[in-house]
Chain A
Amino acid sequence: MHEAVGGRDRSDLVGADLHQRSRPAGAAPPRSLRWHAAGMGAAGFSMLVGIGISALWLLKVGSLADALPVLFRMQFNTAASFVLSGLAFAALLHEATRTATVLSVVVMLIGLAFLLEPVLFTMHPLDRLTIDPFRQTAPYPGHLASGTALSFALLGVCILVSALTGKPTLLRIALAATVFMTAAATLLGYGLQLATESDWPRYGHMSPHTALCFAALALPLIFLRVEELHYDASTIAATLGAASYLLLLLLTLLDLQDAFEGTSPTISIDSDGRPASQAILAGLLVVSGMVYAGLIVYAFRKAQSYRETALKLRESEERLSAVIDTAADGIVTVDAAGRILSTNHAMEAIFGYRAVEMLGHDVRTLIPGFLPLAGKPEDAGAEPGVGDIAGRAREIEGKRRSGIRFPLDLSVARIELDRAVLYSGIVRDISQRKRHEQEILEANAELEEFAYRTSHDLRAPIASSIGLTTIMRDMIGLKASTTQITPVIERLERGLQKLDGLIENIIQLKRSRLLDEPMTTIPLLAAIEETIERLRFIDPARQVSFTVDVAADLTLRTKPARLRMILDNLVSNAIKYADPEEAVRNVTIDAAMTGDGVLELRISDNGLGLDPGDEGSLFQMFKRFHPARSDGSGLGLYIVRKSTEHLGGTVTYVRLDKGSRFVIRLPQRYDA
Chain B
Amino acid sequence: MTIGSLLIIDDDETDLFICGYTIQRFDPSIKVVQASNGREGLEMLQQEQPDAIILDINMPVMNGFEFLETFARDFVRPCGGQAPLVVMLTSSHLGTDRNKALQYDFVKRYFEKPLTSDNLKALADIIETGRH
Contact = CB atoms under 8 A, between A and B. Distances in A.
A383 B59 CA distance: 65
Contacts of A456: 57-58, 90-92
B121 interface: no
A466 B91 CA distance: 12
A464 B21 contact: no
Contact of A628 (B14, B18, B36): B36
A463 interface: yes
Contacts of B115: 467
A460 interface: yes
Interface string B52-74: 00000111100000000000000
A464 B114 contact: yes
A156 to B, nearest CB: 97
Band of interface residues on B: 20 to 34
Interface stretch (A269-277, A415-423, A468-476, A536-544): A468-476
Interface string A520-559: 0000000000000000000000000000000000000000
Interface string B8-26: 0001111101100110010
B113 A467 contact: yes
B21 A471 contact: yes
Contacts, number: 62
Contact of B36 (A459, A466, A494, A627): A627
A494 B15 CA distance: 12
A466 B60 contact: no
Contact of B94 (A455, A474, A624): A455
Contact of B60 (A467, A494, A627): A627
A457 B59 CA distance: 11
Given A455-B94, A459-B91, A474-B25, A625 B60 contact: yes
A474 B117 CA distance: 12
A491 B17 contact: yes
A452 interface: yes
B125 interface: no
Interface string A615-628: 00000000111011
A462 B90 CA distance: 12
Nearest to A469: B114
Given A452-B94, A470-B114, A627 B18 contact: no
A464 B15 contact: yes
Contacts of B59: 627
Given A459-B93, A471-B21, A628-B36, A491 B114 contact: no
B92 A455 contact: yes
A625 B13 CA distance: 15
B92 A463 contact: no
Interface string B89-124: 011111000000000000000001111100000000
A607 interface: no
Interface string A42-63: 0000000000000000000000
A495 interface: yes
B14 A494 contact: yes
Interface in A385-437: none
A671 to B, nearest CB: 40
Contacts of A460: 12, 15, 58, 91, 113
Contacts of A464: 12, 14-15, 18, 113-114
A344 B27 CA distance: 85
Nearest to B37: A627
B114 A466 contact: yes
Nearest to A634: B60
Contact of A467 (B25, B37, B92, B114): B114
A466 B18 CA distance: 10
Given A463-B112, A467-B114, 7 more contacts: A452-B94, A464-B113, A464-B114, A467-B14, A491-B14, A491-B17, A627-B59
23 contacts: A452-B94, A455-B92, A456-B57, A456-B58, A459-B91, A459-B92, A460-B15, A460-B113, A462-B91, A463-B15, A463-B91, A463-B113, A464-B14, A467-B15, A467-B22, A467-B115, A468-B14, A470-B116, A495-B14, A627-B36, A627-B37, A628-B13, A628-B36
